[in-house]
Amino acid sequence: MAAWARQFVSQKKKRWVNAEENIDLDLSYITDRIIAMGFPSEGAAGLYRNPMPMVLKFMKLQHGLDNVKVYNLCSERAYATGAFPHALRVPFDDHNPCAFEQLAPFCDDLDRWLGGHPKRVAAIHCKAGKGRTGLVCAAYLARLALRPSAGVDAPDGVVGATTALAHFAASRTEDGKGVTIPSQIRWVHYWERYLRTGAYRRPAAARAI
């Protein structure tokens, strides 16, 4: 019943399944070193979202826990300090873009982490692992394309905001509908403009439409 509930909640998002290890997670590889996933939950929420013990088991088996850094984008929920050996919270509200000023520090931190060792991976999540997660993943992929980083390559075909968003959508969802909130999509395009020119048009409001 719990497995069915988790699959129902994940809807059209791709899942990572290892039947032999009894792992079934709302989780997708955006690149071989960047993971997008739903919130790692404890208690009753783990019945319909990613159970924290299963997330930890996946990380240990696939990469080794010390090679994974978890990025929590939720402003509305958090887990206990020390749940993961390496973690960073970059909070912003559901269905909204982040503060534009959060993007560069996020990308810098992710770059340092991945560039520190070729075995390192990043697991990025919000609540569902799609809107907010897609925004920052696409922003980072666009930066890799426009400002190459030592040791971390942009995926083939990613040359800017549009292709970065499309890559995330294809990697994360079955129906190709990744980031769908207009304000979040705009943020990735503003970010591309900033990367290309050093300037961006600051919108009057940053709320979802």
Residue 204 lies in a domain: no
Q: How confident is the model at residue 12 (pLDDT cuts 50, 70, 90)?
A: confident
Over residues 186-197, the pLDDT tens digits come to: 999 999 999 999
Q: Is residue 59 part of a domain?
A: yes
Does some domain include residue 202?
Answer: no
183 belongs to a structural domain = yes
Count the domains in the chain.
Answer: 1
Taking only the tens place, the pLDDT of each residue in 159-188 is 999 999 999 999 999 999 999 999 999 999
Residue 146 has pLDDT above 80, yes or no: yes
Tokens found for residue 77: 């929920």
- Please report which confidence band the pLDDT of residue 150 belongs to, taking 50, 70 and 90 as the band edges: confident
- Would you say 54 and 42 are in contact if contact means Cβ atoms under 8 Å apart? no
DSSP string, 22-45: TEEESEEEEETTEEEE--EE-GGG
In a domain, 203, yes or no: no
Q: Rounded distance, CA 163 to CA 13, Å?
A: 19
Whether 62 maps to a domain, the answer reads yes
- Report if residue 49 sits inside a domain: yes
Measured in whole angstroms, the distance separating CA 80 from the mean position of its chain's CA atoms is 20
- The catalytic residue positions are 126
User: Domain with 15 in it: what CATH number?
Assistant: 3.90.190.10
What pLDDT, in 10s, does the model give residues 48-73?
Answer: 579 999 999 999 999 999 999 999 99
The reported pTM is: 0.89
Helix or strand or coil: residue 103?
Answer: helix
Tell me, yes or no, whether 207 lies in a domain.
no
Domain carrying residue 82: 2-197
